[in-house]
Amino acid sequence: MTTTMGLVQSPAPPMAVRTGRTRVRRVLGAIPIMIFGLYVVVGLLGPLFIDYSPVGGDLDDRLLSPGSVLSDGSTAVFGTDALGRDLFGQVIYGARTSLIIGTLVVLISGLVGILVGTAAGYRRGTTDLAASRVIDVLLAFPGILLAIVIAGVFDRSFAIVVVALSVTNWIGFARLSRSMAMTLRERDWVKSATVMGVRRRRIIARHILPFIAGPTLALATTEFAGAILAEASLSFLGLGLPSASVSWGQTIASGKEYLASAWWISAIPGIALALLVICVGFTGDRLTRYFSRKQ
Amino acid sequence: MLPQLVRRVGLMIFTVWGAVSLTFVILRLAPGDQATVQLGPDATAADVSALREELGLNRPMLVQYLDYLGSAITGDFGESYRFRESAMTVVLDRFPATVLLTVTASALALTIGLLLGVLAGRSPGRLVDRVISGITLVMQAIPSFWSGIMLILLMALTLRLLPSAGSGDLRHLVLPAITLAIPFTAIVARITRSSVAEVTTEPYILTARSKGLSERAVLTRHAVRNSVIPVVTIVSLHIGTLMGGAVIVEQVFAWEGVGSLLVGAVGNRDYAIVQAATVLLAIVVVTMNLLADVLNSRLDPRIRAGATTS
């Protein structure tokens, strides 16, 4: 049997009957990953090819429906907003904002979470107690509330959004690596290393972290989707990002006033956002299934 | 049971203290104190320092913190400069609306989520399961502020069936409750699905089947009952998510609850309201988690027995 990620059922199915269906499922299963890849490419390269300025826009072109021809002769595939700015450009630039913020948040919170979680799970005692209490306190703030307060009271900037979202995002990573470190430290190879006098830092680096890496990657995709949703929610509320930046949340919020006359302003960026989150979610689900089967 | 409960309540008080303190720290770190915010950019330096003196912002930070903590215990978070009223009174005024919204949404989400979860979980891998899993994934991925706007577009502007925003009679409740319930339904359905799927492989299900019980009886009496326990645990962990979702949904539909009040207060830097609202929401989350724990130990005889012997 092939060992392609997440496609092989644990009891090997009879080859001849299943190959056709397996191939179909493999292709279907790859679609979300391909769409996600498309977002990454468009988000990174799109802004190089498409000229879009958040302050530009011709007022003659305001509220044009998708597919209209603009006054400068170009076509607005997704229509224009209330200030005559091209919606297609906003969606592309918004993708870049979402991807960059999502990546930074996951990197920062993943690093902090693994550090705290591994230390708590491996050392236990006071370290574990302190970490658990901090997590308790942070979890008392419902959902996105803490991010709203932080992003709301500080001056708007890119950095504050990343910080506000990372403040609670690391908890998932910490919990995962804590519980894994707790079971791993009882395993034979860790015990032997301890008896052999290997330094603690080295044990964690060589014998514990490599085992945490896989499930953490799976979790990172889920958290990435969560961070993108949370960023969009913040900018929907008008908090966080400077008003000159382009974000899906902002565009959706700005379209709310014009729902009756120009539904596309809110609808299209929302579809772009939901599609991205769905594809990342699918990828994350498959990674989770793959790593939980491997264990 | 009792010593455990005392320990839990102690932890709960600690958590609330932490939340109160963290809110204090964040608001003190923020640029511009309440005096400068309140008087606006045109105020003279003398006016600002006079107000600072009046609000007690010139005292050492530790004294301010202890004073804040002392009044927080009595539920006093100072006066809102916009409402000219005790912040806690303003927040509590808005609280019933938030409770109404979240309770309705939870009821919706639990009913539909359990139903979908059982349907999917009793035949894992089948078409029903795949379809339901797909639907729930989409429901979880759609941002609630967007689904809310789309519901307004469909139900209020196109079909003209329901009002688009505001609070008042029950018709105003329908759209916000549905919007808030969507992601929560997905969470409930997914947990129920995996829980039911796991339970159906247990030996006692086989026993029940071999006794000749009907599939329906096996499902309702043996499978669903036993799969409810993890559902309660995990759902209780998501109460925070629900309350956080309410903050955004209230803003979308101009629903006059604590959430929309809080977002407005953050925008206007009305710190008294921000503090009172965050602390109230934190207390709700922590209390609900505790209640869920107690409920869980009632539901699961194993936990009940374990607690009495310890």
**Same domain assignment for residues B174 and B235:** yes
**Same domain assignment for residues B257 and B154:** yes
Taking the domains of chain A in order of start, what are their residue ranges? 90-294
Name every residue whose Cβ is closer than 8 Å to that of residue A252 and which is 6 or more positions away in sequence.
Answer: A232, A236, A265, A266, A269, A270, A273, B145, B146, B149
Chain B positions touching A146 (Cβ under 8 A) are 22
Domain assignment present for residue B237? The answer is: yes
Check CB contact under 8 Å for A141 and B153: no
- Give yes or no for residue A67 having a pLDDT over 80: no
Rounded Cα gap, residues A216 and A227, in angstroms? 15
Domain around B70: 20-76
Tokens of A75: 């076509």
Q: With beta carbons less than 8 A apart as the criterion, state whether B153 and A263 touch.
A: yes
Q: Domain boundary at B47, B76, B105, which? A: B76
Chain A positions touching B152 (Cβ under 8 A) are 259
User: A149 to chain B: nearest residue by CA?
Assistant: B266
Q: Which residue has the higher pLDDT, A23 or A237?
A: A237
**Same domain assignment for residues B188 and B213:** yes
Interface test with A, best of B7, B27, B133, B146 (most A CBs within 10 A): B146
User: B247 to chain A: nearest residue by CA?
Assistant: A145
**Same domain assignment for residues B170 and B290:** yes
Check CB contact under 8 Å for A149 and B244: no
**Same domain assignment for residues B146 and B218:** yes
The domain tally of chain B equals 2
Torsion sign (Cα): A56, A60, A65, A70? negative
Tokens of B104: 């309705």
Question: Which class would CATH give A90-294?
Answer: mainly alpha
Nearest in space to B119 (alpha carbons), one of B95, B97, B135, B140: B135
**Same domain assignment for residues B29 and B177:** no
Q: With beta carbons less than 8 A apart as the criterion, state whether A46 and A92 touch.
A: yes
Domain assignment present for residue B1? The answer is: no
Predicted confidence at residue A164, as pLDDT, reads 92
Check CB contact under 8 Å for A145 and B281: yes
The lowest-confidence range among B1-10, B94-103, B132-141 is: B1-10
**Same domain assignment for residues B66 and B98:** no
ipTM: 0.84
**Same domain assignment for residues B295 and B242:** yes
Angle B149-B155-B161 from CA coordinates, rounded to 5°: 145
Nearest-CA distance A161 → chain B (Å): 14
Which residues face A76 on adjacent strands? Answer: A68
The mean pLDDT of A119-139, rounded to a whole number, is: 88
**Same domain assignment for residues B185 and B103:** yes
**Same domain assignment for residues B260 and B200:** yes
Check CB contact under 8 Å for A237 and B251: yes
**Same domain assignment for residues B165 and B274:** yes
Angle A187-A193-A198 from CA coordinates, rounded to 5°: 140
Chain B positions touching A145 (Cβ under 8 A) are 243-244, 247, 262, 278, 281
Nearest-CA distance B217 → chain A (Å): 31
Q: With beta carbons less than 8 A apart as the criterion, state whether B268 and B1 touch.
A: no
Question: To which residue do tokens 């769905």 refer?
Answer: A278
- Give yes or no for residue A10 having a pLDDT over 50: no
Check CB contact under 8 Å for A148 and B11: no
Interface test with B, best of A144, A149, A167 (most B CBs within 10 A): A149
Nearest in space to A167 (alpha carbons), one of A184, A182, A180, A154: A154
- Which CATH number belongs to the domain containing residue B99 in this structure? 1.10.3720.10
| Helix/strand number for chain A, H first, E second | 10, 2
Considering chain B, what is the average pLDDT of its residues?
83
Rounded Cα gap, residues A170 and A215, in angstroms? 15
The mean pLDDT of A62-86, rounded to a whole number, is: 71
Mark out the alpha helices in A76-157 (DSSP H runs). Answer: 87-123, 125-140, 145-153
Domain assignment present for residue B87? The answer is: no
**In which band, very low, low, confident or very high, does the pLDDT at B304 lie, cut at 50, 70 and 90?**
low
Report the 10 Å Cβ neighbour count for B70: 10
**Same domain assignment for residues B71 and B98:** no
Q: What is the pTM (predicted TM-score) of this model?
A: 0.84
Q: What is the DSSP letter of A13?
A: P
